[in-house]
Amino acid sequence: MTPLLGVQKDMANIAALHVFKHFDCNLRSREELVIRMTLPPGGVFSTGSLTTAPNGLQPASPRARETARPSHPAHEAIFLLGAYSKYKSLAVWSRSDLANIDPNRALDLPTTSRPPTTVTAHSTVSLVLCDLVSALHGSEVFGLAVDMPRVRALPRRERQLAAGAAAHYMTRLLASGDDTLTVRWRSEMIEAVRDLTQVYLQAGGEY
């Protein structure tokens, strides 16, 4: 499997996990992931650390082929992650009207500025999400924080499936070998796995 195919597979995996505190994701196609980011406290995005990438070989903005902009509540902003086989690279665009951000140009994020490798293929999407959370909420905020009250409020069967899938995903990230993610946030990831596993077992799941 090529690194980009690994990223596309990971996009599908994380799109099935509706448990995170700062974002929610859905696939638009095999190569496109729609990311709904929640506003930080105070209700206003700070886009000071978000910039667009330098001019160069970039995928064309999806905005050019959209008939209408996506609608969203006032407490959200929408981004699109593209992992296009044609370009063999990643790009993220703003789909909302954010100050000083040109929606026709890809964002300049630490993760998208370098091509994915075999080692990072299964953690690249998580790193992109952490980049966005860090830029909009602050670098001290754990991007993959799980909304545990939301998980615990699900019906028992849904709670079991959601907690088990999220615990498996986070465990795989810990074992991915990508130090960019696991060194900085290792303790938070281990705590999330512990809490999710507890909810999973309490809901009747078995390992």
Least confident of 20-29, 77-86, 190-199: 77-86
Least confident of 100-104, 136-140, 177-181: 177-181
Q: How many of the other CB atoms lie within 10 Å of CB of 200?
A: 23
| Residue 68 reports pLDDT greater than 90 | no
Q: Cα–Cα distance between 186 and 177 in angstroms, integer?
A: 12
Predicted local confidence at residue 72, as pLDDT: 62
pLDDT in tens, 185-201: 999 999 999 999 999 99
Predicted local confidence at residue 3, as pLDDT: 82
Three-state SS annotation for 129-152: HHHHHHHHHCCCCCCCCECHHHHH
Distances (CA, A) of 80 to 73, 76, 96, 128: 17, 13, 10, 11
| Residue 130 reports pLDDT greater than 60 | yes
Tokens representing 170? 């986070």
Least confident of 88-92, 151-155, 159-163: 88-92
Q: Cα–Cα distance between 54 and 99 in angstroms, integer?
A: 18
Q: Return the bridge partners of 76, or none.
A: 38
Q: Which residue has the higher pLDDT, 93 or 114?
A: 93
What percent of the chain is modeled with pLDDT above 90? 45
Q: Which residue has the higher pLDDT, 64 or 156?
A: 156
| Residue 207 reports pLDDT greater than 60 | no
Distances (CA, A) of 144 to 169, 182, 201: 11, 12, 21
Q: Return the bridge partners of 23, or none.
A: 37
- Report the chain's mean pLDDT, rounded to a whole number: 84
Q: Is 109 in contact with 92 (CB distance < 8 Å)?
A: yes
pLDDT in tens, 29-65: 999 999 999 877 664 455 556 777 766 666 777 766 6
Architecture of the 3-137 domain? Roll (3.10)
Q: Is 95 in contact with 82 (CB distance < 8 Å)?
A: no
- State the average pLDDT over residues 171-188: 84
Which contacts qualify for 39-46: CB closer than 8 Å, 24 or more apart?
39/74, 39/75, 39/76, 39/77, 40/136, 40/137, 40/138, 43/74, 43/75, 45/77, 45/98, 45/136, 46/136
Domain residue limits, the chain: 3-137, 148-202
- State the average pLDDT over residues 172-192: 86
| Residue 85 reports pLDDT greater than 90 | no
Residue 119's pLDDT band (cuts 50, 70, 90)? low
Using alpha carbons, select from 57, 39, 49 the residue that is nearest to residue 105: 57
Q: Beginning with the edge strand found earlier in the chain, give each strand of the sheet holding 89-94 in spatial order.
A: 23-29, 32-38, 76-84, 89-94
Using alpha carbons, select from 89, 35, 105, 95 the residue that is nearest to residue 71: 95
Predicted local confidence at residue 41, as pLDDT: 66
